Amino acid sequence: MPFLTEQKQKFDDLRVVLHEDNRTQLKRTANGGNTVLFVYPPAEEEEYIARARELYPDGYFIDVTELFVKSIELLGDEYNGFSKECQPLEGFTSFYNDYSSTSFKAFTNEYPNCLFSLIVTEICQASQAEKTAFLVHTGALEGTGIENVNIMEHKTVMMQGIPLVIFYPASYMNNELLFLNHKQASNYRCHLVK
Return the pLDDT at 103: 67
Return the pLDDT at 3: 66
Per the structure, how many domains does the chain have?
1
Please indicate, yes or no, if residue 121 is contained in any of the structural domains: yes
**pLDDT tens column, 103-152:** 677 788 777 789 999 999 999 999 999 999 999 999 999 989 899 999 99
Return the pLDDT at 109: 72
Burial class for 103, CB neighbours closer than 10 Å (0-12, 13-18, 19+): middle
List the domain range (segments joined by +) for residue 112.
35-170
Please indicate, yes or no, if residue 39 is contained in any of the structural domains: yes
What is the CB-side half-sphere exposure of residue 82 using CA atoms within 13 A? 0
Q: Which residues contact 73 (CB under 8 A, 6 or more apart)?
A: 88, 89, 92
Return the pLDDT at 1: 47
Please indicate, yes or no, if residue 55 is contained in any of the structural domains: yes
Return the pLDDT at 2: 62
Q: How far is CA 38 from CA 47, 90, 187, 192, in A?
A: 13, 36, 11, 6
Q: Which residues contact 115 (CB under 8 A, 6 or more apart)?
A: 64, 67, 68, 71, 106, 107, 108, 141, 144, 146
Please indicate, yes or no, if residue 97 is contained in any of the structural domains: yes
Return the pLDDT at 49: 98
Please indicate, yes or no, if residue 70 is contained in any of the structural domains: yes
- The rounded average pLDDT for each run of 10 residues, N- to C-terminus, in the chain (194 residues) is 81 96 91 95 96 98 97 87 80 82 76 90 96 97 91 94 96 89 84 93
Please indicate, yes or no, if residue 181 is contained in any of the structural domains: no
CB 187 within 8 A of CB 36: no
Please indicate, yes or no, if residue 53 is contained in any of the structural domains: yes
